[in-house]
Structure 1
Amino acid sequence: MGALFDILGGLVLVVGTAFLLLGGLGLNRMPDVFNRIQAGTKATTLGTILTLTGIAMMHPGWALKLLLIGMFLLFSNPLSSQVLARAAERTHVHKTGRTRIDRFEQDHKGDKA
């Protein structure tokens, strides 16, 4: 049974690492800060959760600690990306010309008066 968990844990670990790699590639290829935040947050959150799950399958004694780390990550990573995006919007960071819809600007048109 331990060998099965080692194999499954290794596969989940590889998938998580692939998501982390794709998140890093997304940070490099996206045209502006808002797209980079989204690519980095979504891919790295899933990649890190999968990596932690793979490690927990390979080392069951660490599962509780890894679960706590994963829960902290699930709360802090989306929150930090939202704060970064809001700060970028407030400091008027340049958007790419391909950005067609700006929901933040649509929602806050009346606030600028």
Structure 2
Amino acid sequence: MSHLTDLPTWAAIVVCGLVLLGAAIALIGSLGLLRLPDFYTRLHAPTLATSGGVILICTASIICFAVLQSRWVFHEVLIIVFVIMTTPVTLMLLGQAALYRDRVEQRRGVPLKQKPLPEESAE
């Protein structure tokens, strides 16, 4: 038998709302990956929206198991921390790799490599 029948109605509504909202946001991010025109705009949809959806779903799990007091919520907290830490790093690395590739292939519309600002002479 499931312990979810012991979940109070208010908690079930909050958990259900968070899971549905997280799933909808993750779906929007996945659709953005399919529909957006180029790599640079496509890069933002799954990294931002899908990670937001995962965070909402993990928050729903934290609330559910905290109210039921059936187990520690350490796994969900770890998932949220790792998603928050790795998503921006992955976004930057993929963006830099694509920009490098586009510069090597000399594609149009790609910004040129910026020159460093000249240092002011000490007077």
Partner deviation per Cα, 1:21-45 (whole Å, 9 max, x = no partner) = 0001100110011111111111011
Identity value in percent: 27
Alpha-carbon distance between aligned partners in 1 of 2:60 and 2:28, rounded to the nearest angstrom: 18
Equivalent of 1:85, from 88, 91, 95?
95
User: Measured at CA, do residues 19 and 29 of structure 1 come closer, stay the same or move farther in structure 2, by a change above 3 Å?
Assistant: same
Equivalent of 2:84, from 69, 74, 77?
74
Number of equivalent positions: 103
Q: Which runs of 5+ in 2 are unaligned?
A: 1-6, 117-123
- For 1:12, the equivalent position in structure 2 comes to 18
1:110 counterpart = 2:120? no
User: Measured at CA, do residues 25 and 62 of structure 1 come closer, stay the same or move farther in structure 2, by a change above 3 Å?
Assistant: farther
Q: Which runs of 5+ in 1 are unaligned?
A: none
How far off is 1:62 after superposition? 4.4
TM-score normalised by length of structure 1: 0.79
- For 2:119, the equivalent position in structure 1 comes to none
Question: Counting helix residues as a fraction of each chain, which structure ranks higher?
Answer: 1
Q: Which has the higher contact order (CA 8 A, sep 6+)?
A: 1
The correspondence of residues 25-64 of structure 1 with structure 2, limited to 5 A, is 25-60=31-66, 61-64=71-74
How far off is 1:7 after superposition? 1.6
Larger radius of gyration: 2
TM-score normalised by length of structure 2: 0.73
